[in-house]
Chains A and B, each alone.
Chain A
């Protein structure tokens, strides 16, 4: 890295400078007086950011949301900052942010940076200073006179950065259900030509090919009734949801909702292909296996507080692949409507602990997709999937339906370490919980 960086002495607050107040009020008017939970938020927000950055003569902004695993950079079009240079700047800001008090400025890669640490009081930031949120404004053309420059950067790091960060937070929250890599791609594609653009599913006018995974916690009511400490049970459930969310995102999925005793996640065919270069149904199956492993290794924490233990505890998972219609509800959560969602839930309901059930069509797509990668197909064929009878409230046993089932799915996990690490991170950052010793 060629840039230099150093802490600067805090300059006097430039209260006598009317232009600072003027520009901040214009920025506030430009970004704060509207809602940022719209369907086409990325385009609208980027238009507003262009204006806000132009108002303060900055060329870019970067906001890091640690817990959400999101980094939102936005550069003025044509500003000439290439990706490698931006990555170097981000790395340097990241280092400073873990040491800084609140606001800081630095020079990096021929850019002047006005930045501030955000949410330093969050649980995750308290446990690990490298995991603080931060926001930074990038300037190319700053006054040469040092005191004037410091006054400018100091003002923006103490005022403007915070205003813009809170606006970007809305965007980060709206896309919380999505894998960060997918949400990042939506952000970067906002003004790409329509034919190459990846856009949020709720903007689609027709059904989208979707693979749905339904996870159901078996005997959850029994667990709740037999937990000697309701708070610890609630904390265990919360940790489970956080673990399953992260696993869904690792596999490029969308964490739709926590149902109280289960989870619904989706894998969009187009997104999995464009971002993860993987088949959606293969991603869903890998995700399901990882979930089964995570639950198996998380269950010992629950067993410590149960009056009666049981062999029936664990997760049952159902997977189906069918087109689904996507929308946003009034609280701006994704809504997915389709037969595949219903089928996955019904399969998940009937799957025993540790088991993954897949509809026949999802299984056939799986085989078809894996046929393109002979190595993966060979390892898949070693999974002992077998067809088992299935009935639901729509079709009773007389229909002799069959689904594909994988028993003891957790033992087929590829990389345990990744899941162990994320589970331990969830333990470390749970307020009030003592991290278990393995």
Chain B
């Protein structure tokens, strides 16, 4: 099926706690726009690629939403630049578990890579249990109004994604 691919990228070292994000988005679209889906619509999980995807096959052109997760700095550095498309959205965890405990040292690195690929259009968001670290590491305009403290209000994340993709028939 030819169509458009829109991606959610998520740099998160504990992806098992946030794997609800694509499911929530899928179910939101199913609730509000069931007519956008064809028969047998489902979330396809491809663990090897760390990817969850679903297709809104009745939109013209069809739109496939992919949720891609990256569990560490190296994986993000390697895969994100290849996968990132214009109009994508990135969710960044701040602290990453390492052999030396929780470290925020990947944040600036990941943020710079993302900024170059995604641009300054405001589509880089932060999901963290430690929002205060952002003020130390980043200018205010980079994270103000773009931070989702954990535990997360799923409505806020899904509302953000729906607004970002702004899909219409």
Give chain A's interface residues, CB within 8 Å of chain B. Answer: 19, 22-23, 25-26, 28-30, 33-34, 46-48, 50-55, 57, 76-78, 191
CB neighbours of A30 from chain B (8 A)? 152-155
List which B91-109 residues lie within 8 A (CB) of chain A.
none
Q: Identify whether the interface residues of A are mostly helix, strand, loop, or mixed.
A: helix
Q: Identify whether the interface residues of B are mostly helix, strand, loop, or mixed.
A: helix
Report if B64 contacts A (CB, 8 A): no
Which of A22, A48, A51, A54 is in CB contact (< 8 Å) with B151? A22
Can you give 12 contacting A-B residue pairs, CB < 8 Å? Answer: A26-B152, A29-B153, A30-B155, A46-B31, A47-B158, A48-B155, A51-B28, A54-B24, A76-B30, A77-B27, A78-B34, A191-B32
List which B5-22 residues lie within 8 A (CB) of chain A.
16-17, 20
Q: Could you tell me how many residues of chain B have their Cβ less than 8 Å away from some Cβ of chain A? A: 19
CB neighbours of B30 from chain A (8 A)? 76-78
Q: How far is the CB of B126 from chain A (nearest CB, A)?
A: 16
CB neighbours of A23 from chain B (8 A)? 17
Chain A residue at smallest Cβ distance from B149: A29
CB neighbours of B155 from chain A (8 A)? 30, 34, 47-48, 51
Which of A19, A33, A53, A77 is in CB contact (< 8 Å) with B153? A33
Q: Do the beta carbons of A76 and B27 come within 8 Å of each other? A: yes
Q: Do the beta carbons of B32 and A52 come within 8 Å of each other? A: no
Complex CA distance for A409 and B139, rounded to whole angstroms: 77
Q: Do the beta carbons of B17 and A22 come within 8 Å of each other? A: yes
CB neighbours of A54 from chain B (8 A)? 20, 23-24, 27, 154
B132-160 to A contact mask, C-beta < 8 Å, 1/0: 00000000000000000001111100100
Q: Do the beta carbons of A55 and B27 come within 8 Å of each other? A: no
Chain A residue at smallest Cβ distance from B40: A78
Q: Do the beta carbons of B28 and A47 come within 8 Å of each other? A: yes
Complex CA distance for A30 and B41, rounded to whole angstroms: 25
Q: Do the beta carbons of A191 and B20 come within 8 Å of each other? A: no
Q: Do the beta carbons of A55 and B20 come within 8 Å of each other? A: yes
Q: Do the beta carbons of B154 and A26 come within 8 Å of each other? A: yes
Chain B residue at smallest Cβ distance from A51: B154
Chain B residue at smallest Cβ distance from A34: B155
Complex CA distance for A26 and B153, rounded to whole angstroms: 6
